Chain A
Amino acid sequence: MSKVTYKGSLVPGVSRYSRSQRFSKRGLYLIKSKVAGVKKVSQSKEKKPSTKSAVSDLERALNRKPSTLYPAESIPKPKQTRKVHSTATLRSSIKPGTILILLAGRFRGKRVVFLKQLASGLLLVTGPYKVNGVPLRRVNQAYVIATSTSIDISDVKVGKKFDDSYFKREQEEKLKGTEEEFFGNDAKKKETPSHKVADQKVVDSQIIAKIKSDPMLKSYLNASFSLTKGQAPHLMKF
């Protein structure tokens, strides 16, 4: 077993040097915002710029005053995380136009058309809404089965406006403290904003035109997926 050495730290999370040591080592005293008395330092530098000998170095080292200010308590520094959030790589079986089977959420069992992957890594899918009632929607690829069936949507224009912010929930009016909030008069149903309805129609009309090329495809998308007796999903081909 080789010994792991940490250059600046004794063990991960525990620094080799005290705070004041680090302060002087890093030359933070030269930074204006850190120390008030910058002027003095710069002046002294100007005075003797050419005395760079071993003797003067030693002299300076011996005469260097350590900082008299130490923190009363050493505050442990949390370990630095090196993990970076990146978008999930799209499964190789999922390509634009691939028909997916949703496995979770209120549309579970529905077969939908995959349009594109968003910046967050979620998949943008549509039913189409007119065919099976699934609107333009984001889904996690972990909760879908990719089928080998796909439709050619290379010339379908999916607007750039469909990003993650498009699907953000709109802030509701807060009824906090009111009688209405308490008794929950939720009689009014939330309506889909008209611009979203229009967007849905624009995308769907293009996709439905593609679906029509195959006579059974529409009813396939309309039918929901389920397992029957003796079917084991890990042994089946999709």
Chain B
Amino acid sequence: MTAFKRFVEVGRVVLLSNGRKAGRIAVIVDIVDHHRVIVEGPTTGVHRHVASLSQVTLTDISIKDLPRTIGTAALKKAIVKSGVVESWKKTSWAKKLEVRRIRANLTDYDRFKVMRLKKQKRFIVDRQLAAVRKTQSA
């Protein structure tokens, strides 16, 4: 058992945390040195480039046995075959980011609707809860 679960390795899926493509995922294709890696995400719109490890976040997902410096076309195939994008979307991390993005893009009227719906939900839940409590105490 090792203490670490996520390694900087070829095939590791990373989340870009900085810059124009922030929020997209890519795959490590090669390792330049201790601080830099070459990443590419042909299905997520990330072109092949050197990224500093301080600008990317490692995820739990990786493509097994990905050869070093794989070409774009082959990488695309490998990504589709392994289904890393789908498994990324399933993680609660990705879901949280998605919700945050949606919330940030809500309009004023949308925010109002959310507020009203939350109120309605709260009303129903509280009512049911009170009814349950009453039966339990009786």
Chain A residues engaging chain B, CB cutoff 8 angstroms: 99, 101, 145, 147-149, 216-217, 219-220, 223, 225, 235-238
Contact = CB atoms under 8 A, between A and B. Distances in A.
Report whether over half of chain A's contact residues are helix, strand or loop; otherwise say mixed.
mixed
B113 interface: yes
B111 to A, nearest CB: 8
A235 to B, nearest CB: 8
A216 B116 contact: yes
Interface string B95-138: 00000000011111100110010000000000000000000000
Interface residues of B, number: 9
B116 A238 contact: no
A148 B116 contact: no
Given A148-B109, A237-B105, A237-B108, 17 more contacts: A101-B108, A147-B108, A147-B109, A148-B108, A149-B107, A149-B108, A149-B109, A216-B112, A216-B116, A217-B109, A219-B116, A220-B112, A235-B104, A236-B108, A237-B107, A238-B107, A238-B108
Contacts of A101: 108
A105 to B, nearest CB: 19
Nearest to B109: A149
Interface of B: 104-109, 112-113, 116
Nearest to B111: A236
Contacts of A225: 108
A216 B107 contact: no
A219 B105 CA distance: 22
A147 B109 CA distance: 8
Nearest to A216: B113
A223 B112 contact: yes
A237 B106 contact: yes
Contacts of B113: 216, 220
12 contacts: A147-B108, A147-B109, A148-B108, A149-B107, A149-B108, A149-B109, A216-B112, A216-B116, A223-B112, A225-B108, A235-B104, A236-B108
A225 B105 CA distance: 18
A219 B109 CA distance: 11
B109 A237 contact: no
B88 to A, nearest CB: 26
Contacts of B105: 237
Contacts of B116: 216, 219
A223 B109 CA distance: 11
A220 B109 contact: yes
Q: What 10 A-B pairs are tightest by C-beta distance, nearest first?
A: A149-B109, A238-B108, A147-B108, A148-B107, A220-B112, A237-B107, A237-B105, A216-B113, A220-B109, A238-B107
A147 B106 CA distance: 11
